[in-house]
Amino acid sequence: MNVEIFRDYCLAKKGVTEEFPFDENTLVFKVMGKMFALTGLNRIPFSVNLKCNPDRAIELREYHPEITPGYHMSKTHWNTIDFTGGLPTDLLFELIDHSYDLVVNSLTKKLKQELENL
């Protein structure tokens, strides 16, 4: 998967914005102001940091060499995923969905209601 497909997929989700809060090369996707995905536009190979359930994060890392502990992130809650490796595209989409869902589920009741009303 390339950065354009990744970007389009993230932006198609409800309540998502894209930002460059750290520098001009680190693209961050947020849902209702909370980060769920980020990538360094200059990173080769193209990789993405995604939130992940801690138990699932360990399991994914054990089975897929393309998935490693989150680069510059909490190693418990974030994975770095090589999007140019051998992972199936449907798994990449599912991991983006999982990250988005984790963040949405952790939103306050008020933010969940705002998201619902978008």
User: Which whole number is the average pLDDT over 37-61?
Assistant: 94
Q: How many domains does the chain have?
A: 1
CATH of residue 23: 3.90.1150.30
List all residues 6 or more positions away from 26 whose beta carbon is below 8 Å from its beta carbon. Answer: 20, 38, 39, 40, 41
Spell out the alpha helix ranges (H) of the chain: 3-11, 54-63, 89-106, 109-116
For residue 72, the model assigns a pLDDT of: 83
Instruction: Look over the chain and give the mean of its residue pLDDT values, rounded to a whole number.
Output: 95
Residue 44 has pLDDT above 90, yes or no: no
List all residues 6 or more positions away from 16 whose beta carbon is below 8 Å from its beta carbon. Answer: 10, 29, 30, 31, 100
Distance CA 98, CA 89 (A): 14
Q: Residue 45 is part of which domain span?
A: 3-116
The pLDDT tens digits for 61-88 are 999 999 999 988 888 899 999 999 889 9
Q: Is this prediction's pTM over 0.75?
A: yes
For residue 75, the model assigns a pLDDT of: 87
